[in-house]
Structure 1
């Protein structure tokens, strides 16, 4: 017997095989269907999908065999993987010097003929073989060999699909853990950070009310700084919690949106102060979308249009247009505008332009990042056009 040779790249081949996490797994119908079909097409009593481990060949699927594995050294498949680019055929094992005294051949009803197609992965490694075996010498017809090769190709694709599904499961589990960690983070932030911040804000106000008249201007200014810093930090914490809570939002539920009524409702929530004029969409503007996600998108866009408007009279227009593929929602203002070079920055988390709003406060750079996240969850896209000194228009393209 000539032992199955070990390929020069066997270490890398084994690493590739282990990455599929398929060795010693339970039988699977998709693989069993292929071995059964290979047996029927080739008229062979035995058909096997075998994977070559370091010292053994293990059978992922088998027809006509009682074994789950055998040693690699005496295997026919060990020879087959050394020529991954072609089918390995033995018509009569007793007449082949490599196998005539092989223990799988010399026994009663032993192997007499063999045909195996290497299972080659995208990186070119032969992970195993799809083979058919007979206890009688046999020469397969050309169509049978071609069919066996096509079936082997399907086995390779199944292995890739199985590997990718496993990766998806791992990714899903990692995301589930991330969401769990975020929930814990939210709990810590809400209770262990916001509570001390609220205390600092309340104590600074109490301190100023009780003892403010005993301080000079510098002292009162210091107390004001403490209160302002605590307020800004609380606003940042609230923004971060708001941003991450939408990671788990289910946007598959859709309902009819009457954009005029919806926009009026959102503007009322904002409790707008100052001189603003709102131009609402036509009452006929109706479409289907996820109300919670779209509501948060519009809330942030309209709130920004109000906060950062630098005109004596702010004008904010909300309208809707329909194209062949999309419903396009516009939120337009007459504010200071945004430099085109900064368009990419405004959608990044903590990305700000360094400007202050109408109340003199700086933004956190979270609102538009949240908008962008929700737009992506809806399978939509957002664009901005702007003219310095004349305002900006945000356009949300929702798929119909």
Structure 2
């Protein structure tokens, strides 16, 4: 018996094999179907998908033998891997000096062998698809051709397995990063909110108690402290709000009576100043997740109010039912948004750098939360705007 030579690139080949995470796994129908088909086509009692490990050949699928592995030094597969550009066809193993005294031959298991290399896209021979007879036998050309095609299918199954593993690994890593980030945001937000509230209360107390003793600069500084604390608290609240909805189950839907729903949201906003609201038609009704949709509309309507620069603000909230879509819109007569900023406003912390009617700067979290919720609802959001005349935010949802 002559053992197969070890390929010069065997270390890299083994690394490639290990990357598939397939060794010592349970039987799978997809691989078993290939060995069954190979045995039927070649009319052979034994068919194996064998993968060559460092010290053994391991059988991913085996028809006709009651073992799952054997030593590498006695393997026929080792010879296939050593010369991966050619098939190994041995019609009578007793006449081949490499195999005539192999234990599988002397014990009457192998009389004829046909092995097709399983080569991955990087060119590494991982193993072989083989058929075995206990007596000498010659395969027809069409049978060898069929084995080659089946070996290619084995490669594709292995590639699919590796790609799925990589996707799962990436998904798990991203999920863990998200959990870490979410936990961090909650811890930081909680730890920041308490001292922020203290700063805000102390600045108000200091102004009330000692404001008359300070000059104008002193009162301005105290005012800056209080205002900065309020802005930071608003940012922290926005972060908490942004991540709170990540775990929201939006599959629970209920009937939305849109006009009533919108009126309820506007009342929650406690609008101050001269505003005219144009409400949707009484008949506008559809199904959606009430909590998610409510937060979307709350943010859009709140922005239409807060950033309106006109003496009299006009906010129109409408609904169009077209085909299988519900199109909701919030239109205002505010300052408008430059088209170059359309994408930025939906990014977290993306702001236009402007202040609202009360002189406060936005956090850049509200519209990012809106975009996230709409995606969870399976919809999309678009914006149209004309500088100096206002903006329209359109939300497209499936009925």
Q: Using structure 2 for the length normalisation, give the TM-score.
A: 0.90
1:353 corresponding residue in structure 2: 352
Equivalent residue for 1:102? Answer: 102
From the superposition, tell whether residues 146 and 378 of structure 1 become closer, same or farther in structure 2 (CA, over 3 Å).
farther
Where structure 2 has 5 or more consecutive residues not aligned to the other structure, the ranges are: none
The answer for the alignment partner of 1:39 in structure 2 is 39
Distance 2:42 2:101 in 1: 25
Q: Which moved more, 1:221-230 or 1:34-43?
A: 34-43
Q: Distance in 2 between matches of 1:375 and 1:341?
A: 22
CA shift, 1:398, in A, is: 2.0
- What is the TM-score normalised by the length of structure 1? 0.90
How many residue pairs end up in the alignment?
399
Show structure 1 runs of 4+ deviating over 6 A.
Answer: none
Aligned match of 1:378: 377
For the residues of structure 2 that align with 1:324 and 1:271, how far apart are their CA atoms? 35
Matches within 5 A, 1:174-185: 174-185=173-184
Inter-CA distance 34–255: structure 2 relative to 1 (3 Å threshold): farther
CA contact (8 A) 2:185 2:239 kept: no
- Go from structure 1 to structure 2 and tell me whether the alpha carbon gap of 1:155 and 1:286 turns closer, same or farther (over 3 Å shift): farther
Pairing of 1:74-153 with structure 2 (within 5 A): 74-82=74-82, 84=84, 87-105=87-105, 107-153=106-152
Deviation at 1:7, TM superposition (A): 4.1
CA distance 1:378–1:81, shift in 2 (3 Å): farther
Structure 2 partner of 1:165:
164
Partner of 1:293: 292
The CA deviation string for residues 58-89 of structure 1, in whole angstroms up to 9 with x for no partner, is 12222233433223343222232355566432
| Deviating more after overlay: 369-378 vs 135-144 | 135-144
Q: Tell me whether 128-137 or 67-76 shows the greater mean CA deviation.
A: 67-76
Check conservation: 2:182, 2:243, Cα contact below 8 A: no
Please say if 1:365 is aligned against 2:338.
Answer: no
CA contact (8 A) 1:331 1:393 kept: yes
| Partner Cα distance (1:326, 1:7) in 2 | 61
Provide the rounded CA distance (Å) in 2 between the counterparts of 1:375 and 1:313: 30
Counterparts of 2:160 and 2:289, CA distance in 1: 32
Which residue in 2 is equivalent to 1:328? 327
What is the distance in 1 between the residues matched to 2:27 and 2:279?
A: 62
Q: Provide the rounded CA distance (Å) in 1 between the counterparts of 2:86 and 2:284.
A: 63
Secondary structure of the residue aligned to 1:81 is: helix
**Contact 1:182–1:244 (8 Å) recurs in 2:** no
